[in-house]
Amino acid sequence: MRILFSITYFSPYVSGLTLYVKRLAEEMAKRGHTSRILCMEHKNDLAKEEKINKVAVFRAKPLFKISKGFLSLDFILKSFQLIQESDVLVVNLPQFEGFITALWGKIFKKKIIAVYHCEVVLPSGLLNNFAESTLNISNYLTLLMTWRIVTYTEDFSENSRILSFFKKKIKTIYPPIIVPKIDKRVQKEFREKISHYSRFNRDSRDKKPYLIGVAARLASEKGIEYLLEAIPILNSKIQETINKKKKFKIVIAGSMTPVGEERYKDKILKLVEKYKDYVVFLGELKEEEMGSFYSLLDVLVLPSVNSTESFGMVQVEAMLMGVPVIATDLPGVRVPIKKSKMGLVVPVRDSQVLAEAIFLIINNKKDYIKQRSEIENEFTHKKTWEFYENLLSA
């Protein structure tokens, strides 16, 4: 079977959405299918065509960029050609140009499947408001042309602004989550970097800091400012009730050069300067390095603020490494914790409650750890692969 995946950003760009598509395309290639990716050339130095782990990647040259999206004549031409050579089209939404691939798919009578990953909520502003509205219209038109719509959870689909119009087309399956692995060398590098910035003696049990992890790029939907604003509250609670010698560090793994988020980045860096003794940036990590990152943490936090976050694969990956999670009460995002009982769900944009939840977990960590087998059984990627094998072949 010849499968074409349509997506705006792809590797080397790293996000939950791109990892999802990368894993799915590579798995289908392993199973003997022809997997191809059509995406945008989001950086000028990227190859227009290349093969990554048996997956052919085609990048369209954009004319110009609007917010996080692109306009491209090259995309129209490439999609016209590639869709004719494909049996199934998988459009990954949100994607402004997704309606173009869906339209060609309709004209050439191809099976069209949409994976509805999330809903984009951009920072306020005239240009962003226009971009968000245009994207929503495009997504709606794409969904009208699809045969099936896949989303991660019923919780998210039932609360979606757009999916409520397409209930009969929707099927749900968890995203493909791979069990992380620990690389001792990488783990040691991370530990040394954290220790260097901590100014604490790592050999002292009393002074070894609690490590609170965040796996996210600096993007407004991630709500990192609410975690940073929880620092003085958490510090006060720890000093008063646990151990006055105990410290903590917020360790952030993710890109510091986000697309279209310069203003938000400036806002976060100002807060980081204010709380510089408490924050360490590890930068963007490779997929194979994430297990080493999780292994050092006492708790992982997802302080996301809107439906641009619809699940958070990182929280399940952390759970698989024995790390409890705190996530905000958003549709889809709250599902892993509610299913696993391996963490706490907190209100959106509430630094006070977030600090209290972190304090509760680091003080009672064993109460929030479950057997890895329980997490694997619930979120196994094997179910995801079989779901797509059956859906694509139907």
148 and 113 Cβ atoms separated by less than 8 Å: yes
Highest mean pLDDT among 112-126, 156-170, 229-243: 156-170
Buried b (16+ CB within 10 A) or exposed e, 253-287: bbbeebbbbeebbebbeebbeeeeebbbbbeebee
For residues 195 and 77, membership in a common domain is answered with no
Which of 172, 203, 231 lies at the terminal end of a domain, its last residue? 172
Q: What is the pLDDT of residues 272-313, one digit of tens each?
A: 999 999 999 999 999 999 999 999 999 999 999 999 999 999
The answer to whether position 352 is within a domain reads yes
CATH number of the domain where residue 348 is located: 3.40.50.2000
Q: What is the pLDDT of residues 362-373, one digit of tens each?
A: 999 999 999 999
Q: pLDDT at residue 184 above 60?
A: yes
Q: What is the pLDDT of residues 44-80, one digit of tens each?
A: 999 999 999 999 999 999 988 776 778 889 999 999 9
For residues 244 and 345, membership in a common domain is answered with yes
**CA 37 – CA 321 distance, rounded (Å):** 31
pLDDT band at 211 (very low <50, low <70, confident <90, very high): very high
What does the DSSP 8-state code read for residue 220?
A: G
Q: What is the pLDDT of residue 200?
A: 42
Q: pLDDT at residue 214 above 50?
A: yes
216 and 327 Cβ atoms separated by less than 8 Å: no
Q: What is the pLDDT of residue 245?
A: 65
Nearest to 122 by CA among 295, 248, 260: 260
For residues 191 and 132, membership in a common domain is answered with no
The answer to whether position 178 is within a domain reads no
Q: pLDDT at residue 10 above 80?
A: yes
What does the DSSP 8-state code read for residue 274?
A: H
Q: pLDDT at residue 165 above 50?
A: yes
Nearest to 380 by CA among 346, 339, 326, 352: 339
The answer to whether position 109 is within a domain reads yes
Q: What does pLDDT average to over the chain?
A: 92
The better pLDDT of the pair 5, 207 is held by 5
Q: pLDDT at residue 242 above 90?
A: no
For residues 199 and 152, membership in a common domain is answered with no
Least-confidence region, from 190-199, 266-275, 291-300, 321-330? 190-199
Q: pLDDT at residue 120 above 50?
A: yes
Q: pLDDT at residue 131 above 90?
A: no
DSSP codes joined into one string, 335-382: HHHHHH--EEEE-TT-HHHHHHHHHHHHHSGGGG---HHHHHHHH-HH
Q: pLDDT at residue 105 above 50?
A: yes
Q: What is the pLDDT of residue 124?
A: 79
Q: What is the pLDDT of residue 232?
A: 96
For residues 197 and 97, membership in a common domain is answered with no
Cis ω for the linkage preceding 176 (within 30 of 0): no
The answer to whether position 231 is within a domain reads yes
Nearest to 102 by CA among 93, 91, 94, 92: 91
Tally of domains in the chain: 2
The residue-averaged pLDDT of 3-28 equals 95
Q: Is 53 left (phi over 0), alpha (psi -120 to 50) or beta?
A: left
**CA 228 – CA 216 distance, rounded (Å):** 14
For residues 224 and 247, membership in a common domain is answered with yes
Three-class secondary structure of residue 310 per DSSP: coil
The answer to whether position 179 is within a domain reads no
Q: Fill in the amino acid letter for 343.
A: G
Q: pLDDT at residue 199 above 60?
A: no
The better pLDDT of the pair 384, 121 is held by 384
For residues 89 and 218, membership in a common domain is answered with no
pLDDT band at 207 (very low <50, low <70, confident <90, very high): low
Three-class secondary structure of residue 65 per DSSP: strand
The residue-averaged pLDDT of 220-236 equals 95
CA atoms in the 13 A half-sphere facing the CB of 199: 6
Nearest to 135 by CA among 113, 162, 115: 162
Q: Report the 10 Å Cβ neighbour count for 109.
A: 7
Which of 172, 198, 224 lies at the terminal end of a domain, its last residue? 172
Q: Is 62 left (phi over 0), alpha (psi -120 to 50) or beta?
A: beta
Least-confidence region, from 3-17, 83-97, 189-203, 246-260? 189-203
For residues 255 and 313, membership in a common domain is answered with yes
Percent share of the chain, pLDDT over 90 = 80
Q: Residue 107: give the domain boundaries.
A: 2-172
Q: What is the pLDDT of residue 197?
A: 60
What does the DSSP 8-state code read for residue 60?
A: E
Percent share of the chain, pLDDT over 70 = 95
The answer to whether position 368 is within a domain reads yes
Q: Report the 10 Å Cβ neighbour count for 243.
A: 10
Which of 146, 172, 198 lies at the terminal end of a domain, its last residue? 172
